[in-house]
Amino acid sequence: MKERIKLKRPGMDIGDSWELDARFDLDPFDLYGRHHEVEAAEARLVVTKLAEGLHLDLEVTCRIGTTCDRTLAPTDVTLSFGDSEFLSGPNDPELYVKDWELDVAGYAREAIPAELPMQVFCPGTKPVTPEPEGDEIDPRWRGLGDLFASGF
């Protein structure tokens, strides 16, 4: 895919929209002490021309290869994130828009660290829960049980 997607199209009237599905590549990265490989990245883009600018609906889906925090086995995580924004001018650094061109890879590269969970577990692994200690109350505190309506 091209590095940038042109958002303005010649001949578009107010209310006209167009859609684009695109695949793009992202470099591997390290985060939370682990190495992550972006195995697949896709974007779905809907652009609508408005009287004062453009409305942009962007949804990005990425499949990221990483390791399980419990077993250290390789596993995949699928992330889906996006934005729905009004662009009143040709530049929006938050969305990586410059001169009405969208850098989808730049947007995804910045958004992935916020979307990726800090702990990743393989499918089928069960969370470790502590054994219940029971409801036994220290005998020194039993005298306070009469102070509360619900008991102690």
pLDDT tens-digit readout, 29-64: 999 888 999 999 999 999 999 999 999 999 999 999
**pTM of the predicted model as reported, rounded to 2 decimal places:** 0.76
What is the structure's pLDDT at 150?
63
What is the structure's pLDDT at 90?
92
Q: Is 70:122 a contact under the CB 8 Å cutoff? A: yes
Out of 30-34, 109-113, 125-129, the most confident range is: 109-113
What is the structure's pLDDT at 35?
93
Q: Is 14:21 a contact under the CB 8 Å cutoff? A: no
What lies within 8 Å, CB to CB, of 125 at 6+ separation is: 68, 70, 71
CB atoms < 10 A from the CB of 66, how many? 18
What lies within 8 Å, CB to CB, of 89 at 6+ separation is: 53
Is the model's pLDDT at 107 over the cut of 90? yes
3-state secondary structure of 16: coil
Strand partners, 97: 92, 102
Looking from the CA of 7 toward its CB, the CA atoms found within 13 Å total 31
**Res. 124 pLDDT band, cuts 50 70 90:** confident
Is the model's pLDDT at 151 over the cut of 60? no
Strand 97-98 and strand 53-67: the pairing is unpaired
Looking from the CA of 146 toward its CB, the CA atoms found within 13 Å total 1
> Could you tell me how far CA 127 lies from the centroid of its own chain?
23
